[in-house]
Amino acid sequence: MSLNKIHKAFFLVSMLTLIGCNSSTAQDIPTLQKQYKQAVQYADGSAATTALLALIVKGQTQYKDTLALVYNRAGMFTQSYLVAKELLEKDPANKKELLELQAQNTSQLGATQDAVGFKDQLLEIDATSSWYHYQKSLLLLNAKKYEACLETTNEALAVEDPKQMQLTVEGTLGENITIPVKAELYNIKGLAHYQLKDNEAAKEAFNKALAIAPEYKTANLNLQAAGIQQSE
C-alpha cells in the first residue's frame, strides 16, 4: 500500500472518531484522565482512544505519543502512523521509540520500503544493534530483495552486538528455545542464498546458524532442504 493513500483511507475513520470524541470534550481534564486509566484497566481500546483524543483537544498534547501507541496496539496502524508522523516532525526526545512504532505501522500496512527506511534511521541511532539488523533483513527477505538482505546480514554479522539480543524459536523437539539473534541472521542469510540458487553458500550459512544454536528446528530443516535441492 502506498502511504499517499493513507489520508484518504483515514478520512471516514476520523469523522467517526470525532463524533465519539465530542461527547467527552465538555468534561474536565482530571475526569478524562480517570476515564483513560479505567479504560486501560479494562482493556477497552475504544474508550481509551476517546479519552485521549478529548485530552489532546483540551491542550494535553503530551498524550499524543500514548495515542499513537494505543492505536498501534488496537491494530489501527493508519491512525498510529499519522500521529507518530506528526510527532517525529518535531524531533522529540522519544524519537527512537516512535521510529520503532513507525517501522511496525508501515510494515503492517504493507509499505515495506518505508518500514526499511525507518529501520535505517534506527540503525543510524544504534549501528551495533543486531535486533534492528535482524528486523531489516527479515523485511527485505519477505520483500524478495535477496541481495539487499545479504548486504544487511553481512553488515550485522561483522559487528559485535554488545546487547547480545536473544530470540525465542522452536527447537527440534517442538519446545521453545532461546537463541542468539546472530544464529537467526545466519539462517536468514542462508535463505537469501537459497533463493538466489546458491546452495553451497546457503548450506554454509545454515551450518553457521546451527553451530551457534544446534537445536534450532527451522535452521535444521533449511539445511536439509538445501542439501536435497543440490542433489536433484
pLDDT in the model for residue 63: 96
Q: Please name the CATH architecture into which domain 157-232 falls.
A: Alpha Horseshoe (1.25)
Q: Is the pLDDT of residue 5 over 50?
A: yes
Contact yes or no for 116/139 (Cβ under 8 A): yes
Residue 129 has pLDDT above 80, yes or no: yes
Closest listed residue to residue 110, CA positions, set 211, 5, 208: 5
Asked whether the CA dihedral 174, 210, 162, 88 is positive or negative, the reply is negative
Q: What is residue 192's DSSP assignment?
A: H
Give the pLDDT confidence of 93-127 residue by residue, as tens digits: 999 999 999 999 999 999 999 999 999 999 999 99
Within 13 A of 228's CA, how many CA atoms are on the CB side?
6
* N-term to C-term CA, the chain: 39
Q: Above 80 in pLDDT, residue 38?
A: yes
Residue 2: is its pLDDT beyond 90? no
Task: Name which residue leads in pLDDT, 27 or 48.
Answer: 48
> Cα–Cα distance between 109 and 83 in angstroms, integer?
15
Band of pLDDT at residue 26, cut at 50, 70 and 90: low
Residue-level pLDDT at 160: 84
Q: For residues 140-164, give the mean pLDDT.
A: 93
162 or 204, greater pLDDT: 204
Average pLDDT of 17-30?
A: 58
Q: Is a pLDDT exceeding 60 seen at residue 56?
A: yes
Give the per-residue pLDDT at 163. 77
Closest to 185 (Cα-Cα) out of 163, 162, 166? 166
Backbone angles phi, psi at 179, to 5 degrees: -130, 155
pLDDT band for 91, please (50, 70, 90 cuts).
confident
Q: What is the pTM of this model?
A: 0.82
Q: Comparing C-alpha atoms, which of 142, 76, 143, 65 is closest to residue 109?
A: 76
Mean confidence (pLDDT) of the chain? 89
The pLDDT of residue 10 is above 70: no
Give the tens place of pLDDT for each residue, 214-232: 999 999 999 999 986 554 5
The sign one gets for the Cα dihedral 10, 15, 20, 22 is positive
Residue, of 161 and 74, whose pLDDT is higher: 74
- The domain ranges of the chain are 1-99, 157-232
- Please give the Cα distance from 78 to 80 (Å, whole number): 5
